């Protein structure tokens, strides 16, 4: 995921061909989202970054919940 975020934060170039397939896939996805939601590419990038941040926060909270077991059984 860090590689994708690196692609998001790079200055945008209007290249027709990208050598990296993941970069081409990301650019295509951003263009589709921009068209579907009728927003600019920069707004799509912001939306993706916000979703990534939300996922990280949710994952951190999930890990905190799993520190203690839900049930405890003591066999004597």
Residue 2 falls within a domain, yes or no?
no
Q: pLDDT, tens digit, for every residue of 10-64?
A: 655 555 566 789 999 999 999 999 999 999 999 999 999 998 888 888 777 766 6
Model-level pTM?
0.52
Residue 49 falls within a domain, yes or no?
yes
Across the range 72-76, mean pLDDT stands at 74
* Count: domains in the chain: 1
Task: Give the residue numbers spanning the domain of 60.
Answer: 39-66
Contact between 41 and 26 (Cβ < 8 Å):
no
pLDDT at residue number 55: 84
pLDDT at residue number 58: 77
Contact between 8 and 48 (Cβ < 8 Å):
yes
Residue 61 falls within a domain, yes or no?
yes
pLDDT at residue number 59: 74
Residue 34 falls within a domain, yes or no?
no
C-alpha of 13 from chain center: 21
CB neighbours of residue 57 within 10 Å: 10
pLDDT band at 73 (very low <50, low <70, confident <90, very high): confident
């Amino acid at each position: 995921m860090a590689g994708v975020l690196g692609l998001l934060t790079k200055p945008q170039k209007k290249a027709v061909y990208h050598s990296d397939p993941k970069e081409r896939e990301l650019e295509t996805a951003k263009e589709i989202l921009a068209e579907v939601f009728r927003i600019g590419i920069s707004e799509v990038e912001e939306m993706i970054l916000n979703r990534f941040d939300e996922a990280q926060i949710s994952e951190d909270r999930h890990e905190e919940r799993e520190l203690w077991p839900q049930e405890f059984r003591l066999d004597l």
